[in-house]
Amino acid sequence: MKLIVVGLGQCGGRIADEFARLNARAHTFRNLDIITGSYAVNTDVADLSGLTAIRPDYEHRILIGSRKTGGHGVGKINELGTEVAREDADKVIETIRMAKRFAETDAFLLCASAGGGTGSGSIPVMTQQIKERYIDKPVYNLIVLPFEHEEITEDRTIYNVATCLKSSYLVADAIFLVDNQRFAMKDAPILGNLSKINHIIVEPFFNLLCAGEEKDPKHIGAKMLDAGDIIQTLVGWTTLGFGRSESSFFKSFFGEKRDFRDKATDTQKGTRALDQAISNLSLKCNPTDCKRAMYLISAPGKEINMDLVKELGTYLKSMAPEAVIRSGDYPRERGSFDVTVILSELIDVEKIRNYFTKAISLISALKKRQEGIASRQKDIDVTIHDIPSLL
């Protein structure tokens, strides 16, 4: 599957930057191209300057709203982010359309933080505009939820998250939800922390996108998972995870005969990788709430057997009994079992519900606060009227 990735705002731009690195890795080590274009869109010049993998020209790092923001961002006011995105949407769409390999693109992926200003406000607008222009290609969102301390200290963050999620849900074909707090490392330096989180966010896409673009016959699975399978799986609220466990490949590679126990152990290792993928899901959820699911196993070809595939399928079905499950194998990795899992069409997400509840309470409290301020302002106007002016 080939994607055009558009990062909106600071967080979205950095994730798009990570996708550009992912494509370079696929090109170098697998001779595959999985990203047909990586773009960063922002109202802040400094944020655009901090990227490293996306090309530094104005066609790939796109500044919007410079007349209203002076190139210094929107200050977490996502309504302003929406306004400038609506005004400059044509600039972004035209730039994307001019990509050399645009015709090869299977879908769009727009990335943003829900708690910021530019990304939170612009991702619903850009999603809507792209869908209206390219009706034959699905448009997905990858939305990053804020850290707990941001929710506690900044009321505006809750409001931004709620409005962003509702607006995006109305227009996007599917929304990958990523909870920053699940991947936070408390003692690590903040810059390295965020870089590591971005890598963790993007890593599950690697085998998932490469599998359907593989050209070498020895790396094409018995049950190939292609763009069509992915498109049919992705609907509404979505989460994904990645798990890995070591295989017995190196024993056979170096000429050692594999013990009979190794074959049974392979199935257990595959199950452990699936367990890890579920525990590493980008958002905490109940698998029983998903209506569509998918898993992809990547391991040495000799170790992907029917017992393993059956065991993983049965295990996932027991966790998500109502889901339509698609699966595939990708005989590529050496020395490890890699399992990528997607749970989609989630009918209930507790964290999202909590955001909406908090936002409603916050809006009500703000209205009461504004009414109180207006009342006190009238009292000040009455008393200030009798004070002489020096002007």
pLDDT(94) > 80: yes
Burial category of 337 from C-beta neighbours within 10 Å (exposed 0-12, middle 13-18, buried 19 and up) = buried
What are the tens digits of pLDDT across the range 344-379?
999 989 999 999 988 888 887 777 766 555 555 555
User: How far is residue 61's CA from residue 71's CA, in Å, rounded to a whole number?
Assistant: 13
19-38: per-residue pLDDT in tens? 999 999 999 999 999 999 99
**Is 19 among the domain residues?**
yes
Asked if residue 122 and residue 21 are part of one domain, the reply reads yes
Q: Is residue 43 part of a domain?
A: yes
CATH number at residue 67: 3.40.50.1440
3-state helix, strand, coil in the chain (%, to 5): 55, 20, 25
Any domain includes 317? yes
List the beta strands (DSSP E) in the chain. Answer: 3-8, 35-42, 61-63, 107-113, 139-145, 174-179, 236-246, 290-298, 324-330, 336-346
- CA–CA separation, 88 and 364 (whole Å): 33
> In this structure, are 191 and 314 located in the same domain?
no
Strand pairing of 336-346 and 290-298? antiparallel
Residues with Cβ within 8 Å of residue 161, at least 6 apart in sequence: 114, 115, 120, 145, 146, 151, 355, 359
The answer to whether residues 191 and 300 belong to one domain is: no
Q: Are residues 175 and 251 both part of a single domain?
A: no
Residue 190 DSSP SS3: helix
Question: Does residue 313 contact residue 205 with C-beta atoms inside 8 Å?
Answer: no
Per-residue CA distances from 364 to 152, 276, 367 (Å): 18, 41, 5
Over 60: is that where the pLDDT of 203 sits? yes
Over the range 251-263, which residues count as b (16 or more CB within 10 Å of their CB) and which as e?
A: eeeeeeeeeeebe
Shared domain check, 267 and 181: no
Shared domain check, 42 and 158:
yes
Task: Identify the domain containing residue 171 by its residue range.
Answer: 3-202
Is residue 189 in some structural domain? yes
Predicted confidence at residue 384, as pLDDT, reads 57
Non-local CB neighbours of 150 within 8 Å, separated by 6+ positions: 115, 157
* pLDDT tens by residue, 281-292: 999 999 999 999
CATH number at residue 262: 3.30.1330.20
Per-residue pLDDT, averaged over 66-92, amounts to 88
Residues 192 and 254 in one domain: no
Structure tokens at 53: 């993998």
pLDDT, residue 253, reads 47
84, 115 contact by CB (below 8 A): no
Q: Is 75 left (phi over 0), alpha (psi -120 to 50) or beta?
A: left
Pairing of strands 236-246, 336-346: antiparallel
Does a structural domain hold residue 180?
yes
Same domain for 159 and 305, yes or no, is no
Is 231 a domain residue? no
Instruction: Report whether pLDDT(250) > 50.
Output: no
pLDDT of residue 152: 85
Per DSSP, 53 falls in state: S
The domain total for the chain is 2
Compute the average pLDDT of residues 303-325: 89
57 shares its domain with 197: yes
Domain boundary among 322, 346, 370: 346
Residues 326 and 177 in one domain: no
Token reading at 34: 């999985």
Both 147 and 277 in a single domain?
no
CA distance 292 to 331: 24
**Is the pLDDT score of 193 beyond 80?**
no
Task: Tokens for 172, please give them.
Answer: 């996007």
Domain check: are 180 and 292 in the same one?
no
Is residue 363 situated within a structural domain? Answer: no
The C-alpha angle with vertex 10 and arms to 181 and 33, in degrees rounded to 5, equals: 90
Band (pLDDT 50/70/90 cuts) for residue 168 is very high
- Mean pLDDT along residues 150-155: 83
Query: Which of helix, strand or coil describes residue 110?
Result: strand
What distance in Å separates the CA atoms of residue 211 and residue 362, rounded to the nearest whole number? Answer: 45
Amino acid, res. 380: I
The label of the residue with tokens 């799986």 reads: 233
Question: Does residue 84 form part of some domain?
Answer: yes
In order, the DSSP letters of 283-302 are: S---GGGEEEEEEEEE--GG
Q: Rounded to an integer, what distance in angstroms lies between the CA atom of residue 186 and that of residue 205?
A: 26
- Number of residues that this document lists for the chain: 391
Q: How far apart are CA 109 and CA 168, in angstroms?
A: 12
Asked whether residue 96 carries a pLDDT value surpassing 70, the answer given is yes
